[in-house]
């Protein structure tokens, strides 16, 4: 089965991001394909490399990055939601005159069209969070 996932909450504000990650990992282990994970609203905070949790806590952002690296999962951060929250890749930072970017490894920034495409291409779209 081809699955698309939407994550709407931040990594440490709600259980939804952890649950989405665990769901994606389990689906991959069972042989399913994760077509795309789309981070929307506060979910874009899963894509900032500036997240530094305590050493004894899970690192949600790194978990997502590792999933992308190990399984080729497409992690897309909504551009409008990301800009509102100060999350940018190098191109967006340059375009807005900022001298720094903070998008984590394995993530990319794009628009809502990527969510629509994922919903059309996948057999299921599973949403986590509000």
Q: Any idea which residues carry the catalytic annotation?
A: 78
Q: Read off the DSSP letter of residue 39.
A: E
120 torsion bin: left (phi>0), alpha (psi -120 to 50), beta (else): alpha
SS3 125: strand
Q: What's the chain's length in residues?
A: 130
Q: What are φ and ψ of residue 125, in 5° steps? A: -115, 120
Neighbours of 26 (CB within 10 A): 10
96 Rama class: left (phi>0) / alpha (psi -120 to 50) / beta: alpha
115 φ, ψ (degrees, to nearest 5): -70, -45
């Amino acid at each position: 089965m081809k699955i698309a996932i939407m994550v709407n909450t931040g990594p440490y504000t709600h259980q939804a991001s952890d649950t989405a990650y665990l769901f994606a990992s389990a689906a991959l282990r069972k042989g399913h394909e994760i077509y795309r994970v789309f981070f929307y609203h506060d979910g874009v905070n899963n894509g900032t490399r500036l997240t530094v949790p305590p050493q004894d806590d899970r690192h949600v952002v790194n978990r997502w990055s590792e999933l992308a690296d190990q399984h080729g999962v497409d992690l897309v951060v909504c551009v409008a939601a990301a800009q509102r929250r100060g999350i940018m890749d190098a191109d967006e930072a340059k375009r807005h005159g900022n001298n720094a970017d903070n998008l984590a490894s394995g993530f990319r920034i794009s628009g809502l069209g990527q969510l629509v495409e994922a919903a059309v291409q996948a057999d299921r779209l599973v949403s986590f969070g509000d």
